[in-house]
């Protein structure tokens, strides 16, 4: 296990390094960016930039110094809002985004798994078709469209929910719904497929031969095995929820990180783009790592395998 951890953390570090490097050099290669010679920014901003990025040093020195500051979680200044640093933006935005993301993830996981199980147990029945049609529709509608439709119907036409912002639990319903639909649909489809697969396994027949009730067979014997594949996609799902927050936060005017990120893209606020990208990547890589660990805990075969492979 320890050997595995070390190896896994090593490869996480490599991926992160690739991202930082990529970001750094891409940003520096843009003609007209504040990192290049022709500078089109204000005096104050220029000073901030120079002190943070060491722009007077050779490029490779800049790169290593940048690595160093990133390693100490210092992402530098903004060039559009001269009084702000990326860290401050993250500090303000992250908790909100995190809340939105987590609530969405939980909603998506629970409703998706439930839908998938029901569909699998009613295989080829009406409920199965209904659930899967809903799921395919969920995958098919872009989340910004979903968000707009929800606002249009529930907030504007029926006026039962607030249109925007993130101030009370009631405000959370629409954004969460809009953001959760896609991931929920993906989970539901995957759960159904893997449940159907598991239900044909020999050990399910063994369980039936013991005289266990269908409920016990499904929840004790089938579910855990069926959920293993679902766990493996949680990482990429987290990624899609995260990018989804850009859209949702902007539409619902939620003061999260995603909103800052989108603004920084629109304004070409390069240091913020850099910092945020790296921060997001770190979060995602950690998510993937946690998913791997969870998988190892859920599937007893994995643990031993890694132990042996040490």
Which span sits near other proteins by CB under 8 A: 39-47, 50-58, 105-113, 214-222? Answer: 214-222
Q: Does residue 246 interact with other proteins by CB under 8 A?
A: yes
Encode 149-198 in three state secondary structure.
HHHHHHHHHCCCCCCCCCCCHHHHHHHHHHHHHHHHHHHHHHHHHHHHHH
Binding mask 283-302 for other proteins (x = CB under 8 A): -xx--x---------xxxx-
Cα–Cα distance measured from residue 65 to residue 63, given in angstroms and rounded to the nearest whole number: 5
Output the smallest distance, CB 43 to other proteins, in A.
Answer: 25
Which span sits near other proteins by CB under 8 A: 14-22, 38-46, 80-88, 103-111? Answer: 14-22
Question: Whose Cβ is closer to other proteins: residue 49's or residue 247's?
Answer: 247
Binding mask 105-144 for other proteins (x = CB under 8 A): -------------------------------xx-xxxx-x
Which span sits near other proteins by CB under 8 A: 36-44, 97-105, 172-180, 196-204? Answer: 196-204
Q: Does residue 209 interact with other proteins by CB under 8 A?
A: yes
Which span sits near other proteins by CB under 8 A: 8-16, 45-53, 61-69, 76-84? Answer: 8-16
Compute how many residues bind other proteins; rule: CB under 8 A: 66
Q: Name which of residues 20 to 49 contact other proteins (CB under 8 A).
A: 22-23, 26-27, 29-30
Q: Which of 201, 231, 255, 293 binds other proteins (CB under 8 A)?
A: 201
Q: Does residue 18 interact with other proteins by CB under 8 A?
A: yes
Q: Does residue 277 interact with other proteins by CB under 8 A?
A: yes
Is residue 109 within 8 A of residue 187, CB to CB? The reply is yes
Which span sits near other proteins by CB under 8 A: 41-49, 54-62, 79-87, 261-269? Answer: 261-269
Rounded to 5°, the CA angle 163-105-6 comes to: 140
Show Cβ contacts of residue 234 under 8 Å, excluding neighbours closer than 6 positions. Answer: 105, 109, 287, 291, 294
**Binding residues for other proteins (CB under 8 A):** 11-12, 14-15, 18-19, 22-23, 26-27, 29-30, 136-137, 139-142, 144-145, 148, 151-152, 156, 201-203, 205-213, 216, 220-221, 224-225, 228, 239-240, 242-243, 246-247, 251, 262, 265-266, 268, 270, 273, 277, 280-281, 284-285, 288, 298-301, 304
């Amino acid at each position: 296990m320890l050997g595995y951890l070390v190896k896994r953390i090593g490869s996480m570090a490599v991926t992160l390094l690739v991202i930082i490097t990529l970001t750094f050099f891409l940003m520096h290669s843009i003609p007209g960016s504040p990192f290049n010679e022709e500078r089109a920014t204000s005096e104050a901003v220029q000073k901030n930039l120079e002190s943070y990025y060491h722009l007077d040093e050779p490029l490779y020195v800049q790169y290593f110094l940048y690595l160093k500051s990133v390693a100490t979680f210092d992402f530098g200044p903004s060039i559009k809002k001269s009084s702000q640093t990326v860290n401050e933006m993250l500090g303000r935005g992250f908790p909100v985004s995190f809340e939105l993301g987590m609530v969405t993830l939980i909603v998506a996981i629970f409703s998706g798994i439930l839908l998938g199980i029901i569909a699998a147990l009613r295989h080829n029945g009406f409920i199965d078709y209904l659930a899967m049609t809903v799921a395919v529709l969920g995958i098919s509608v872009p989340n910004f469209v979903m968000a707009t439709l929800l606002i249009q119907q529930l907030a504007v036409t029926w006026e039962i929910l607030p249109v925007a912002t993130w101030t009370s639990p009631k405000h959370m319903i629409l954004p969460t719904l809009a953001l959760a639909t896609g991931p929920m649909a993906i989970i539901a489809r995957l759960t159904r497929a893997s449940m159907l697969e598991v239900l044909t396994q020999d050990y399910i027949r063994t369980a039936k031969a013991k005289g266990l009730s269908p409920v016990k067979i499904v929840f004790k014997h089938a579910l855990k095995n069926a959920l293993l594949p679902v766990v493996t996609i949680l990482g990429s799902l987290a990624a899609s929820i995260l990018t989804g927050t850009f859209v949702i936060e902007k539409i619902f005017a939620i003061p999260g990180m995603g909103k800052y990120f989108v603004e920084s893209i629109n304004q070409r606020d390069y240091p913020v783009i850099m910092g945020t990208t790296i921060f997001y990547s770190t979060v995602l890589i950690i998510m993937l790592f946690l998913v791997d660990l969870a998988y190892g805990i859920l599937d007893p075969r994995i643990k031993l395998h890694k132990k042996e492979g040490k």
